[in-house]
Structure 1
Amino acid sequence: MTSTPGTARDVLLYDPTLRDGHHAVRHQLAAGPLRAYAQAADAARIPVVEIGHGNGLGASSLQIGRALLSDDAMLATVRDALTHSKMGVFMVPGWGTSADLRNAAARGADVARIGTHCTEADVGERHLNLLRELGVEAHGVLLMSHMASPAQLADQCALMADWGAQAVGIMDSAGHYLPADVSARISAITAAVDVPVIFHGHNNLGMAVANSIAAVTAGATVIDGCARGVGAGAGNTQLEVLAAVLHRLGYATGVCFKSLLHAADIAQEVLMPHPPTIDSVSLVSGLAGVFSGFKRPVVDIAQREQVDPVDLFFALGARGIVAGQEDLVLETALRLKDTP
């Protein structure tokens, strides 16, 4: 069912600042900053605060970056800081395992998202089933969703709902969408499922808030946002701006806006060296449709191999590279280097 501005339909704000924001600092957040932001988010009554390595449970590795803290340490720190907000976790099968989900549940995770490539929802079937057995709220999200059609995404979301997902949706992992793209996809998904629909935006083209509003208008009721927009690449939908715009449009979120602004100030002070910006490389990442988390390795490898990072991003986009294929960044850079 679609909605029009002013209906005051509830929108649940889901906050992955302490997970997606890890990308912006090479997964090096310490316990003090994690605790400080979690307490501020809890005071703002943000419904769900997500925690973990940028790529989720079990992802800390040499290939994509070692986190400063273990999953257990992060979970314990944030769990102790939350009184009102639920604690969320994220896992991509292959980086994380069923054992990681069991451990997160034992350490107090209330919500767990299983992320799969946009056409491979079946990879998460047993994990969604396990979450229901564990009594953890199960969400299914499709990554790099711009690589699939609205009909394909709707079919994949319907499967996840059949497997026990209590909310399903899409991530604009590359920040590639425009509002019409989002509207078409969310409309197709909401027509195919009877569970809440999720949208997670990135800001590579400066469209994250507009795309999130398009998602709400098309029927999504769970919208992601990060304080000050911190996140991979050009960052995520800026949570406090999203809340303000939703309020202007008449939607109810239940958050305390003044406390949310304080949480955003805390985030800028303790979580990030500087707020995210749409620089040239992030912009090209969005145009090329490449995962925003590839920004740092692309910049590092381009500098080392003396190739243009803009050319490298477009070459990666042409190859359809997805998260988990970080080894192809160097291979692609070497190909560019050898091309006359």
Structure 2
Amino acid sequence: MKKIEILETTLRDGSYPINFSFNAADTSLICKELETAGFRYIEIGHGVGLNASNQGKGVAAQTDEEYMVAAEEVLKKAKYGMFCIPGIAKIEDIDLAAEHNMGFIRIGTNVTEVPSSKEYVKRAKEHDIFVTANFMKSYALDAQQLAKKVALSEKYGVDVVYIVDSAGGMFSKDIEEYYEAIRKVSDITLGFHGHDNLGLAVSNSIESAKMGIKFIDSSLQGLGRSSGNASTEILIAALLKLGFKLDIDFLKVLDIGQEYIQPLLTNKGVMPLDIVSGYAEFHSSYMHHIQKYSSKYKVRPELLIIEMCKINKVDLDENILRAIAKKIKKEEHLYLGKYAFNRYIGREQDE
């Protein structure tokens, strides 16, 4: 089996469901524990990335620099990194990262907006920082189109390109199509970041590793945005069972997840809107708009998600969403019948 790297993202992506409340002490402690367990790539900080607290994306418990210091002071072997979305992050944030010996930086753009990463990649490479290009909402492009974006990122100088299942709606065959198309134009190192809206994050991660994708993201207990990520504990168990060679202490990982992350979990079960988001490939960052117009026009939010994604899976235009809500309200019986939601109509009438 080819060697893979598990990039542990609990302290970054896992911060979403706990309102970005990991503090400096948490960061230091969990970073040290993860390093001891054998992880070599540990992502920290605000879930949305550098400068997000200053851009109205939710205020994290610490500043970016405080997170950097917390990781820098305790890590001896592992690299720590942070997320960076051009337009939210300032290019000067990369200079700050370099001052604190950041080992890697993940520059995330919607897959349709890769050119916006160019200057950020250039600045990071000037500081000799390891750079991944994370193609958010990868599913918005077909395999050949995405492969062209990979060639563009490679030209900019990135070290790794990530296929990102932002809505947790991909199947392994989709990832394989992307992989094969990319390999026709580039031999760049690839990564996969999966969400679990359809319960496929671990299996998709395993299939990615089997087909030759080197970097796989996961988080302890699957903690993450929307339905969460591939569970680090389950992923490692499955990979070891399949014969992958991992320099990671499996039992130590189980202990870290149980001691530090399990107490943060709320047993909410599987949320319907998360499942529908995976079905339609809808990014949860726009959910507040869905709730707004669902409430205003008294239509099911599931229908708004599905119909909006038929038009655009990358961005959400409120004018378009408003028009969809009005149309659904006018012809609600047709939409409900189409998705077999009409069973709810009878139930409500009986009540």
Query: Structure 2 length as normaliser, TM-score?
Result: 0.85
Q: CA deviation at 1:90?
A: 1.1
User: Is residue 44–residue 255 contact of structure 1 (8 Å, CA) maintained in 2?
Assistant: yes
Aligned residue in 2 for 1:273: 265
User: Is residue 202–residue 234 contact of structure 2 (8 Å, CA) maintained in 1?
Assistant: yes
Aligned residue in 1 for 2:89: 96
**Cα distance in structure 1, aligned partners of 2:59 and 2:308:** 24
Change (3 A) 1:101 1:307: farther
Aligned residue in 2 for 1:45: 38
- Partner SS, residue 140 of structure 1: strand
Change (3 A) 1:73 1:100: same
Unaligned runs of 5+ in 2: 331-351
Change (3 A) 1:265 1:102: same
CA deviation map 1:133-159 (0-9, x unaligned): 101111112110011111111111122
**Cα distance in structure 1, aligned partners of 2:142 and 2:22:** 36
User: Is residue 230–residue 276 contact of structure 1 (8 Å, CA) maintained in 2?
Assistant: no
Q: CA deviation at 1:235?
A: 0.3
- Partner SS, residue 171 of structure 1: strand
Q: CA deviation at 1:50?
A: 0.4
Aligned residue in 1 for 2:125: 132
Change (3 A) 1:331 1:43: farther
**Cα distance in structure 1, aligned partners of 2:241 and 2:33:** 23
CA RMSD of aligned residues (A): 2.4
Aligned residue in 2 for 1:3: none
**Cα distance in structure 2, aligned partners of 1:69 and 1:36:** 15
- Partner SS, residue 187 of structure 2: coil
Query: Relative contact order, CA 8 A, sep 6+: which one is greater?
Result: 1
Q: 1:313 and 2:305 equivalent?
A: yes
Alignment of 1:127-166 (within 5 A): 127-166=120-159
Which residue of 189, 192, 204 maps to 1:199? Answer: 192
Q: Pick the structure with greater CA Rg.
A: 2
- Partner SS, residue 120 of structure 1: helix
Query: Structure 1 length as normaliser, TM-score?
Result: 0.88
Aligned residue in 2 for 1:336: 325
Change (3 A) 1:302 1:190: same
CA deviation map 1:39-59 (0-9, x unaligned): 221111111110121111112
- Partner SS, residue 11 of structure 2: helix
Aligned AA for 2:309? Answer: G
- Aligned residue pairs, count: 328
Aligned AA for 1:204? Answer: N
User: Is residue 290–residue 305 contact of structure 2 (8 Å, CA) maintained in 1?
Assistant: no
User: Is residue 294–residue 325 contact of structure 2 (8 Å, CA) maintained in 1?
Assistant: no
CA deviation map 1:227-275 (0-9, x unaligned): 11111100011111111111111112211111111222234245x3326
**Cα distance in structure 1, aligned partners of 2:185 and 2:122:** 20
- Partner SS, residue 53 of structure 2: coil
Aligned AA for 1:279? Answer: M
- Partner SS, residue 106 of structure 2: strand
Which residue of 84, 97, 117 maps to 2:110? Answer: 117
